[in-house]
Amino acid sequence: MEDEIRINGTLVWYYTFCPREAWLMSRQMTPDEDDENVVIGRFLHENRQPRGRKEVEVGHSKLDVVRRDSGTLVVTEVKKSRHSLKGARMQVLFYLIELRKRGIEAEGELVVPEERKVERVVLTQEDRVKIEQTVEELRALLRRATPPPPKRIPACKRCAYGEYCWA
Amino acid sequence: MGTSVYLFSGGQLRRKDNTLVFESPDGTKYLPVENIQEIYLFGEVDLTKSLLEFCSQKEILLHIFNSEYEYYMGTFYPREHLNAGHVTVKQVEYYLDPQRRLDLARRFVEGAARNMLQVLKYYRNRGKKVEGHLERIQELEGKIPETAEVPALMALEGNIREQYYRAFDAIVLQEDFQFDRRTRRPPENHLNTLISFGNSLLYSAVLRETYKTHLDPRIGYLHTSNYRRFSLNLDVAEIFKPILVDRLIFTVLGKKMITRRDFDAKLEGIYLKESGRKVFVSEWERRLGTTIRHRSIGREVSYRRLIRLELYKVEKHVVEGEEYRPFVAQW
Ligand code: SF4
């Protein structure tokens, strides 16, 4: 079972919001596809690759990367609102660590197209410890046979699992 | 959310570029495919393979009724699109473990009985003479926990339902619609015809909602999975029959929206004519769209949505071990 647990950036992202959501996602229990937020997410995903960007696979994650003229490799993560930036930052940091493990130095950026916002993400030693700790917790969570029960949190309001969790 | 299309007359259903076209003696109808989630075919309709491919790709379910006798024949269920192996494994685990299967099956019967009682209580409060049936159902309900095997539970469920249907005469109070006894294929009297028709619509509706979850409709608990193509939808439908189908029957009969003239007697039984089917179906759609306040979701949800929520609860039961408590109507 151990090596079947595949941690990827998206799971890290979900985990920062709601551990339960990460567990459900890890079991391919995708949420209600009629949900408006899922539709927006899919649209963003399908339409988010301007010229010069590439999707590459690293570990179990798919990353959008660009190479700047200066030679720096940049991992970009596009989100639909500023609400999710904290989690998105964790996600990008996770990617940066994954890349570094493979000997690649990169920087990250968070993009919120609707708000024309771009934020730079650089990996510090402190972040590193924090992410590794988070990934350990996540791994332990995903090893569980059942997800943690739903807990009312602000994210529930916009979560596509809402009806599943609270039915 | 997708809509449902009902095609009553015969004709040809074809794919034309990116739309569906229905050609019938009444004319040509274009169906906007992006919105359709299911199509009911009542008439003699010609289908082609390319149409089925198209429906599969667009995730449209086709419910097919025998065109002469309009009983439900089956559903063209497109390839599963929300696949979660973990859920299927859990569903099967619960099916294979006799104790767990029985436990889930009992919950469906319990929910069905509670909703039947709600319906009867409502009519008792309006002065209908259903007290005796009500009491007998309550007695039988008490035996649900004592059943040791699914077949025994099925039999008990049959007894409960029999008592319940017997109360219909006191509610409907129409000579033309006496219950007599439950007959299915073919239904042998007018009331049975309505019950069968309504139940078929409900089975299809539950199937459609199941398609939007990770559950496999072939694995049921009360209804055995052995020889039926779909059975989970039959299980979940038990909960909703009294509230959705039977109440609708009382409405259309009480308001004389459907009368004896809407039926045909054929060699093999009694059938609803197109006029009757149309009335029934439009009432059905109205009912599914009716909303009620849902406490834990915190807003109004339609009955159609409520069916989906019920399936989510079953999914949580098998995946998370969170005990499934069937929906019971408040009135
Ligand atoms: S609805 Fe709430 S508890 Fe459920 S997955 Fe979403 S955020 Fe988590």
CATH number at residue A83: 3.90.320.10
Instruction: Please report where in the chains the tokens 């409900």 appear, as a residue.
Output: B202
pLDDT at B84: 82
What DSSP assignment string belongs to B232-292? HHHHHHHHHIIIIIIHHHHHHHHTTSS-GGGEEEETTEEEE-HHHHHHHHHHHHHHHH-EE
- CA-closest residue to ligand 1 atom 5: A21
Question: How many Cβ atoms sit within 10 Å of the Cβ of residue B111?
Answer: 22
pLDDT digits (tens, 9 = 90+) for A56-77: 777 777 888 777 777 788 888 8
Whether A92 is in a domain gets the answer: yes
Contact A29 B319 (CB under 8 A): yes
- List pocket residues of ligand 1, CB cut-off 6 Å: A 18, 20-21, 150-151, 153, 155-156, 159, 161-162, 165
Whether A18 is in a domain gets the answer: yes
pLDDT at B69: 65
Name every chain A residue with its beta carbon within 8 A of the beta carbon of B297.
162-163, 166-167
Work out the average pLDDT over A96-101.
Answer: 89
**Lowest-confidence region among A49-53, A148-152, B131-135, B269-273:** A49-53
Whether A109 is in a domain gets the answer: yes
What are the backbone dihedrals phi and psi of residue B64, each rounded to the nearest 5 degrees, phi first?
Answer: -110, 125
What are the backbone dihedrals phi and psi of residue B41, each rounded to the nearest 5 degrees, phi first?
Answer: -110, 110
Binning pLDDT at 50, 70 and 90, where does residue A8 land?
A: confident
Question: How many Cβ atoms sit within 10 Å of the Cβ of residue A4?
Answer: 8
Work out the average pLDDT over A147-161.
Answer: 90
Instruction: For residue B129, report the distance from its CA to the centre of ligand 1, in Å.
Output: 47
Name every chain A residue with its beta carbon within 8 A of the beta carbon of B316.
164, 167
Contact A149 B322 (CB under 8 A): yes
Residues 6+ apart with CB under 8 A from B67: B10, B41, B42, B43, B44, B45
Residues 6+ apart with CB under 8 A from B161: B112, B116, B182
- Per-residue pLDDT of chain B (331 residues), as tens digits, is 689 999 998 899 999 888 899 999 888 999 988 889 999 999 889 999 999 999 999 999 999 998 666 678 889 998 777 778 899 999 999 999 999 999 999 999 999 999 999 999 999 999 999 999 999 999 999 999 999 999 999 999 999 999 999 999 889 888 778 877 777 777 778 888 899 999 999 999 999 999 999 999 999 999 876 655 899 999 999 999 999 999 999 999 999 898 888 888 877 788 888 899 999 999 999 999 999 998 888 889 999 999 999 999 999 999 999 999 999 998 7
For the cut 90, the answer to whether the pLDDT of residue A47 exceeds it is no
Chain A residue with minimum CA distance to B309: A167
Q: Which tokens in the block code for residue B260?
A: 């004896």
Contact A166 B320 (CB under 8 A): no
Dihedral (C-alpha) B6, B9, B15, B21: value to the nearest 10 degrees? -90
Chain A residue with minimum CA distance to B321: A146
Whether A1 is in a domain gets the answer: no
Q: Which of A34, A146, A163 sits opposite B321 (nearest CB)?
A: A146
pLDDT at A104: 86
Whether A52 is in a domain gets the answer: yes
Report ipTM for this prediction: 0.82
**Enclosing domain of residue A81:** 9-165
Chain A residue with minimum CA distance to B322: A149
Question: How many Cβ atoms sit within 10 Å of the Cβ of residue B121?
Answer: 15
**Element housing B150 (H / E):** helix B150-166
List the beta strands (DSSP E) in chain A.
54-58, 61-67, 73-78, 107-112, 117-121
B315 is an annotated ligand-binding site residue = no
pLDDT at A1: 43
Whether A104 is in a domain gets the answer: yes
Instruction: Please report where in the chains the tokens 């074809």 appear, as a residue.
Output: B14
Sign of CA dihedral A51, A57, A58, A60: positive
Q: Regarding beta strands A73-78 and A107-112, do their DSSP bridges make them parallel or antiparallel, or are they unpaired?
A: parallel
- Tell me the C-alpha distance between B110 and B151, whole Å: 15
- Tell me the C-alpha distance between B323 and A146, whole Å: 13
- Tell me the C-alpha distance between A130 and A108, whole Å: 17
Interchain CB contact of B305 with A (< 8 Å): yes
What are the backbone dihedrals phi and psi of residue B6, each rounded to the nearest 5 degrees, phi first?
Answer: -115, 120
Instruction: For residue A150, report the distance from its CA to the centre of ligand 1, in Å.
Output: 6
pLDDT at B100: 96
Which of B124, B158, B123, B126 minimizes the C-alpha distance to B143?
B158
- Tell me the C-alpha distance between B325 and B329, whole Å: 12
Whether A2 is in a domain gets the answer: no
Q: Look up residue B212 and give its DSSP letter.
A: T
pLDDT at B144: 96
Interchain CB contact of B148 with A (< 8 Å): no
pLDDT at A53: 63
Interchain CB contact of B316 with A (< 8 Å): yes
Q: Which of A28, A33, A34 sits opposite B86 (nearest CB)?
A: A28
B238 is an annotated ligand-binding site residue = yes
Q: Look up residue B302 and give its DSSP letter.
A: E
Instruction: For residue A162, report the distance from its CA to the centre of ligand 1, in Å.
Output: 6
Domains of chain B: 3-76 (3.100.10.20), 85-320 (1.20.120.920)
Q: Which tokens in the block code for residue B289?
A: 């769209």
Q: What angle do CA B1, B7, B10 make, to 5 degrees?
A: 155
Bigger pLDDT: B158 or A116?
A: B158
Which of B64, B285, B280 minimizes the C-alpha distance to B190?
B280
CB contact residues (below 8 A), chain B span 248-287, against chain A:
none
Q: How many residues does chain B have?
A: 331
Question: How many folded domains does chain A comprise?
Answer: 1
pLDDT at B1: 64
Bigger pLDDT: B270 or A142?
A: A142
- CA-closest residue to ligand 1 atom 3: A150
What are the backbone dihedrals phi and psi of residue B246, each rounded to the nearest 5 degrees, phi first?
Answer: -70, -40
Chain B residue with minimum CA distance to A148: B320
pLDDT at A32: 73
Work out the average pLDDT over A146-155.
Answer: 92
Whether A32 is in a domain gets the answer: yes
Q: Regarding beta strands B299-302 and B291-294, do their DSSP bridges make them parallel or antiparallel, or are they unpaired?
A: antiparallel
Interchain CB contact of B84 with A (< 8 Å): yes
pLDDT at A50: 53
Name every chain A residue with its beta carbon within 8 A of the beta carbon of B85.
28
B133 is an annotated ligand-binding site residue = no
Q: Which whole-number Å values give the CA distances from B151 to B61, B106, B263, in the listed order? A: 31, 11, 35
pLDDT at A2: 46
DSSP count for chain B of H helices, then E strands: 11, 12
Q: Which of B1, B84, B309 sits opposite A27 (nearest CB)?
A: B84
| Smallest Cα distance from A164 to chain B, Å | 5
* For the CA of A151, the nearest atom of ligand 1: 3
pLDDT at A3: 52
